[in-house]
């Protein structure tokens, strides 16, 4: 989903623009003599920024100007304005989120790939009952059967069922454990507050989508995620849960038959499992396109955890902690 953190933010929260951040009583002229080499140290001592929650974010933000000896002494010595960096590092993604995000990528890929190897079994057009479940159609009218022969050939799926089953029933544990840890972390850390859709998210999401489609201008103000992102990322977590539940109901349809029945029966559960997977693929395509459009700064934050943001931008820490 779209994300352009470098865009100026409206209503940037409780922190006012740079001027307000300066210490009210700036050191008098000539009092401070800081050479560029000692900058970071000097900044820490001055501790001009009270909003910085920890040392990692305490990258120099503001510092008093070392005034040179004036040629002509002015009658009213002006207090020199503090100098602030226009940018700062925002701790955007905690390490746990980054690890679980990237672990999920190959695991989900393996689940989809091995799922296709299994699914090929039932996709055999040469016989009488092809794609009984996986089709798009109403009643006896079938619009599409997944997938065309060239697709199966291209991914080298035929007759690799045992491999598919073996990998699917191995990586299902990694997928489930990673997902459970992820949700648990969201709940404990308070990160869920940045992710769960809010009341205004739907309207924001529509606006964001229209902007992305170049149908209108002006992104709504956002903190970590905009409305569209909140909805998409929350939905994909629910889809993961859906895959686990439908998967279990297909895996043990006799022992957990009440789950299978709730899902509409065995074949319906298979259908749901399949279309959830198609949903993941659709999510993946949109996600990658949006990440590419959002640019390097945003992508990097999912690797290093930090994003370069305008110094005036409100910190996410407040949103993380209970409001």
Partner 1 sequence: MSDGREERKEQEERRKWEKERKDRDDDRDRDWERDGDRERRDSRTVELDAVVRAESGRRTRRSFLVAAAAAEGEYGFYRWIDRSPGDQLIPRPLRKMLDFNAKVARGVFDERGLAPTYPVNKSMELRTNGNYGLKMDLVPESYRLQMVGVENAKRFPQYVDDVTAWEYQYAAKKESGPVEHDTKVAPKDEAKVDPNSDAGAGEGPMMQGGPASTMVGGSGEKKEETKLSPAFEAAFAALKKAQGNKRPRGQEEAGMSDNTLDPGTPGLLLTMDDVTSLPHQELVTEFKCIEGWSQVVHWGGYRLADLIAKYPPEKKTDGSLPKYVYMETPDGDYYCGFSLQACQHPQSLLVTEMAGRPLTQWHGAPIRLHMPIKYGYKQIKRIGLIAYTDMQPDDYWTKLGYDWYAGL
Interface positions, 20-49, toward partner 1 (CB under 8 A): 36, 39-40
CB-CB contact of 62 with 48 (8 Å): yes
| Chain residues 196-255 in contact with partner 1, contact rule CB under 8 A | 251-255
Least distance in angstroms from the C-beta of 210 to partner 1: 32
Q: Does residue number 169 form part of the binding site for partner 1 (CB under 8 A)? A: yes
User: Residue 17, exposed/middle/buried by CB under 10 A (0-12, 13-18, 19+)?
Assistant: exposed
Residue position matching structure tokens 């008098």: 28
Q: Does 55 bind partner 1 (CB under 8 A)?
A: no
User: Contact 251/168 with Cβ under 8 angstroms?
Assistant: no
Q: Which of 38, 142, 304, 321 binds partner 1 (CB under 8 A)?
A: 304
Of residues 108-147, those binding partner 1 (CB under 8 A): 118-130, 132-133
Size of the site for partner 1 (CB under 8 A): 73
Q: Which is nearer to partner 1, 304 or 321 (CB)?
A: 304
For partner 1, the closer CB: 50 or 322: 50
- Please state the closest distance from residue 118 (CB atom) to partner 1, in A: 7
Applying CB under 8 A, does 6 fall inside the site for partner 1? Answer: no
Cβ-in-10-Å burial (0-12, 13-18, 19+) of 269 comes to buried
Site mask for partner 1 (CB under 8 A), range 60-99, x = bound: xx-x-x-xx-xxx-x-----xx-xxxxxxx----------
Q: Contact region for partner 1 (CB under 8 A) — 205-213, 230-238, 287-295, 302-310? A: 302-310
Enumerate the β-bridge partners of residue 5.
Answer: none
104: contact with partner 1 by CB under 8 A: no
For strands 141-145 and 62-64, give the pairing.
unpaired
Cα–Cα dist 267/250, whole Å: 8
Residue with tokens 């993961």: 240
- Taking Cα atoms as reference points, which of 215, 277, 225 lies closest to residue 246? 277
| Residue with smaller CB distance to partner 1, 40 or 137 | 40
CB count in 10 Å sphere of residue 61? 23
Provide, rounded to whole angstroms, the least separation between the CB of residue 214 and partner 1: 31
Within 257-296, the residues that bind partner 1 by CB under 8 A are: 257, 260-261, 266-267, 270
Q: Which of 85, 98, 70 is nearest to 303 (CA)?
A: 98
Interaction of residue 152 with partner 1, rule CB under 8 A:
yes
When the beta carbons of 185 and 251 are compared against partner 1, the nearer one is 251
- DSSP 8-state symbol, 119: H
* Distance separating alpha carbons of residues 210 and 233, to the nearest angstrom: 19
| Member of 17, 30, 106, 137 binding partner 1 (CB under 8 A) | 106
Q: From the list 52, 59, 202, 237, which residue makes contact with partner 1 (rule: CB under 8 A)?
A: 59
Shortest separation between residue 193's beta carbon and partner 1, angstroms = 25
Which C-beta is closer to partner 1: that of 260 or that of 315? 260
> Which residues does 130 contact at the CB level (< 8 Å), separation at least 6?
122, 123, 124, 145
Which residues are 63's β-sheet partners?
83
């Amino acid at each position: 989903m779209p994300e352009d953190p470098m865009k100026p933010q409206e209503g940037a929260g409780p922190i006012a623009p740079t001027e307000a951040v300066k210490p009210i009583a700036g050191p008098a002229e000539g009092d401070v003599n800081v050479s560029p080499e000692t900058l970071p140290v000097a900044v820490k001592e001055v501790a001009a920024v009270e909003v910085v929650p920890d040392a990692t974010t305490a990258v120099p933000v503001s510092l008093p100007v070392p005034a040179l000896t004036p040629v002509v002494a002015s009658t009213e010595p002006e207090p020199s304005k503090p100098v602030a960096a226009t940018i700062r590092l925002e701790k955007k993604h905690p390490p746990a989120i980054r690890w679980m995000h990237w672990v999920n990528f190959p695991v989900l890929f393996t689940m989809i790939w091995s799922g296709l190897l299994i699914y090929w079994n039932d996709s055999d057009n040469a016989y009488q009952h092809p794609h009984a479940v996986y089709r798009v159609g109403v009643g006896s009218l079938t619009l599409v059967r997944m997938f065309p022969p060239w697709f199966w050939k291209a991914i080298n799926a035929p007759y690799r069922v045992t491999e598919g089953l073996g990998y699917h029933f191995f990586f299902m544990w990694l997928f489930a454990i990673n997902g459970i840890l992820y949700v648990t972390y969201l709940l404990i850390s308070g990160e869920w507050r940045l992710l769960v859709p809010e009341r205004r998210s739907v309207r924001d999401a529509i606006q964001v989508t229209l902007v992305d489609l170049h149908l209108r201008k002006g992104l709504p103000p956002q903190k970590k995620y905009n409305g569209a992102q909140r909805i998409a990322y929350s939905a994909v977590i629910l889809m993961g849960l859906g895959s686990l539940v439908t998967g279990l109901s297909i895996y043990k349809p006799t022992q957990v038959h009440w789950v299978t029945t709730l899902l509409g029966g065995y074949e319906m559960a298979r259908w749901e499992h399949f279309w959830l997977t198609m949903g993941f693929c659709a999510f993946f395509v949109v996600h990658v396109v949006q990440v590419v459009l959002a640019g390097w700064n945003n992508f990097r934050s999912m690797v290093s955890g930090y994003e370069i943001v305008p110094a005036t931008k409100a910190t996410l820490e407040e949103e993380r902690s209970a409001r």
